[in-house]
Structure 1
């Protein structure tokens, strides 16, 4: 390629595209190694999450025409040299050249007639993809300009190549925040935004057009794959694949890198070859388009602020109904999720995402102590774990039972065999529990029933000896360890009485 690629060469098409200096934004594509340049802004269509977009009405037909329903599997079209697309990083001092392009009308910079266009980084030191396309991808790290030239066609869809490649550094970092380019054997003679060209085999709407976007279904279980494979599959769920060229069905492209041949990446490549194309679906991303001639994409609405509070204010005794209310700002359709951390415990989800901004916390039986709430918010269109959150502490205080009374039926005395009802009633505590002790004639104190809710006891006296009995009904709140006594014999309040069997 380098010996033929001269200033007089008849190259097919070229593009000079502006990358941007990487910014600390959540969905910004990672900067290529050796640069501080991101592959396009975060709101570019390549870098836009499409996991919540509707399914395209042609999805089933496009899957069938690409062999997805016939058992076709994904194929990672990259690896160690010579497989995959190499890319180069240069600075502004690197030698350049201008070229005569066959498709000069579609090359940069714009010219009125066919004439040398450029300048472009050029030299025998630059790595070029193997024949026959011979793509030459170069990034100027000083200007963040991306240059793409090729011997035949840079990209049939008229899309940039580099932003759609799977890169080793991204997999190593644990996330790919952009779509991935792939090929189909036959395509329709139309194209969908963001594609600019078509290279169809027929006028057939059952064939995917250039620019068609697919995503791995959210229901597809990726948990059994290694971590590196999951990085790629997660990207396919959130950013998907874009039909960018004609070639073998479901071949997706990545960089040429010897690192792909080592573990755990060799296993990743092997596992990716087991993914059925039938696990994908085409999406309709037309709602993202800002302008047909721009790669900018409308972004999902995001909640930019969040406030949450609890009433009544803390501290409150266990048993009090606590209302948590949240208000999100900056988003059209906020959804709320509530998490709770208990004292010396762990976080638990107490209310999953819903449009309901309120959560009622039933504190009956809860232990006293400091709890922490975290209320998350995201827009209905957002696929993030959360857009914004508000966290606060809330304390539950012990409210010991302050009074205790007992009603006995029949009162005072009864004949043997009578069922005696003992009803205890505690006051001052939201969740009272009761324990019953008794002292039979000539005996010792014994536990009739341990602490439990419900203060009514039935004493079946059949077989009990006649004589004078003594009863003691103890009460304590469910959140109280007992304010009197010594463990395990503790109580907040009690009531004692005599009873005679005849």
Structure 2
């Protein structure tokens, strides 16, 4: 089920009266320099990054938070996201389309095409290196968030679109918003800017990917998740909020949750254990309004949907909020 669509910050002025809906065991590779020293990523839809990790080792996505203190308002914030089990919002196929947020890896010579944006004041201008065959979230006729994610492996950059639609067979594209990220840098979006995600964060680094779970047998970054109702606030590394509500017991965008250290993962299947260990070590970042405790990932025909479904045995109450820094409300 796709997350609720989001709008950039300026659109909130128009929608201020609206509530809730988003406006906007294998070995680990060795040490890293910049974006990581894994092998060269592959090419194509859902290609393996072969152990290369986006962003520098000290990036918030790659931060080990297993020993960080718990936020004093953790219990209320967890409850605000709903009391239920985790849901893997990815897998093989759902409703006739690949289940999850797809991505494609291209070479540095990939041709660039123009992109027009509905919210061009908070979008990075094109052209973007989007191949005509780039997969769209939900399939060509999908009506959800319609993310398009492109990784330029040679220039180590990430290009992301939200509500993306090809024009003239992909000769150009139109989208709600778009963002470009240097995967070797810790630079953030400008304060108050959206991205292709409501929190102003990149989407790709928060996905559960088959190449990490099954090939590398380790996820070395935080994951992306959604909550039904959020606060008109954000916390580092997020840069944008997507709500008009001001209740301090509602979670701000960028809030990080962590699976409790004492949660026993031994009874889960192998792929689920890898995912749950990442939730203990790196946690999950709140990135958008959507169904409660939906965990984002990339589709792959090789996933075991039964193994992924076992994540539903993990309850929201098995998580805690990692202590947050400054909460931005303006």
Q: TM exceeds 0.5?
A: yes
Cα distance in 1 for residues equivalent to 2:42 and 2:31 = 18
Query: How do residues 107-126 of structure 1 correspond to structure 2 at under 5 angstroms?
Result: 107-108=123-124, 117-126=125-134
In 1, Cα distance between the equivalents of 2:131 and 2:277?
Answer: 38
State the distance in 1 between where 2:82 and 2:133 align. 40
- Partner secondary structure for residue 267 of structure 1: helix
Corresponding residue of 2:295: 252
Write the distance in 2 (CA, Å) between the matches of 1:259 and 1:128.
19
**8 Å Cα contact 1:180/1:236 also seen in 2:** yes
Q: Deviation of residue 201 (structure 1)?
A: 4.6
Q: 1:175 to 1:26 in 2, by over 3 A?
A: farther
Aligned to 1:212: 255
What SS does structure 1 have at the residue aligned with 2:88?
A: strand
CA contact (8 A) 2:92 2:302 kept: yes
| Structure whose residues are more often helix by fraction | 2
Aligned partner (choices 81, 97, 107) of residue 113 of structure 2: 97
Which residue of structure 1 aligns with residue 235 of structure 2? 192
- Between structure 1 and structure 2, the one with the greater Rg is 1
**1:136 and 2:142 aligned:** no
Relative to 1, partners in 2 of residues 1:266 and 1:26: Cα closer, same or farther, differing over 3 Å? farther
- Out of 250, 260, 272, the position equivalent to 1:229 is 272
User: Given the alignment, which residue of 199, 207, 225 partners 1:182?
Assistant: 225
Deviation for aligned residue 1:285: 4.6
Alignment of 1:36-47 (within 5 A): 37-47=52-62
2-side partners of 1:201 and 1:183: how far apart? 17
Give 1:204 shift. Answer: 0.8
What is the match of residue 280 of structure 1? Answer: 319
Q: Tell me the distance in 1 between the aligned counterparts of 2:42 and 2:311.
A: 24
TM-score between both structures, scaled by the size of structure 1: 0.48
CA contact (8 A) 1:50 1:285 kept: no
Contact 2:92 2:305 in 1 (8 A): no
Q: Give the unaligned 5+ runs of structure 1.
A: 1-11, 14-22, 109-116, 293-502
1:161 to 2:203 alignment = yes
- Distance (whole Å) between structure 2 residues aligned to residue 282 and residue 174 of structure 1: 26
Relative to 1, partners in 2 of residues 1:123 and 1:26: Cα closer, same or farther, differing over 3 Å?
Answer: closer
Provide, for residues 440-484 of structure 1, a one-character-per-residue CA deviation record: whole Å limited to 9, x for no partner. xxxxxxxxxxxxxxxxxxxxxxxxxxxxxxxxxxxxxxxxxxxxx
In structure 1, the residue matched to 2:91 is 79
CA distance in 1, matches of 2:266, 2:130: 45
Aligned to 1:24: 30
Shift of 1:176: 0.4
Q: Distance in 2 between matches of 1:283 and 1:253?
A: 20
Q: Deviation of residue 228 (structure 1)? A: 1.7
**Number of corresponding residues:** 254
1:165 Cα offset (Å): 0.1
TM-score in terms of structure 2 length:
0.72
Determine if contact 2:130/2:150 at 8 Å carries over to the other structure.
Answer: no
C-alpha offsets along residues 390-428 of structure 1, whole Å, 9 cap, x if unaligned? xxxxxxxxxxxxxxxxxxxxxxxxxxxxxxxxxxxxxxx
Residues 244-323 of structure 1 aligned to structure 2 (within 5 Å): 244-260=287-303, 265-286=304-325
Which deviates the most, 146-155 or 193-202? 146-155
Alpha-carbon displacement from aligned partner over 1:359-388 (angstroms, at most 9, x marks no partner): xxxxxxxxxxxxxxxxxxxxxxxxxxxxxx
Kept in 2, the 8 Å contact 1:190–1:198? The answer is: yes
SS of the residue aligned with 2:273?
helix
C-alpha distance 226-245 of structure 1, shift in aligned 2 (>3 A):
same
Give the 3-state SS of the residue equivalent to 1:245 in structure 2. Answer: strand
SS at 1:237's partner residue? helix
Q: Determine the structure 1 residue equivalent to 2:74.
A: 59
Question: Would the aligned equivalents of 2:87 and 2:309 in 1 still touch at CA under 8 Å?
Answer: no
- Three-state SS of the structure 2 residue aligned to 1:46 is helix
RMSD: 2.4
Task: Show structure 2 runs of 5+ residues with no match.
Answer: 1-6, 9-28, 44-48, 164-175, 178-195
Query: Which structure 2 residues correspond to residues 380-459 of structure 1 after superposition, within 5 A?
Result: none
Higher relative contact order (CA 8 A, sep 6+): 2
Deviations 1:130-183 (A, max 9, x none): 232111100112111110011146200000000000000111121101000000
Shift in CA distance, 106/51, structure 1 to aligned 2, threshold 3 Å: same
1:222 Cα deviation after fit: 0.9
Partner residue, 1:449 = none
Q: Distance in 1 between matches of 2:131 and 2:103?
A: 13
Take 2:259 and 2:227, find their aligned partners in 1: how far apart are those partners? 16
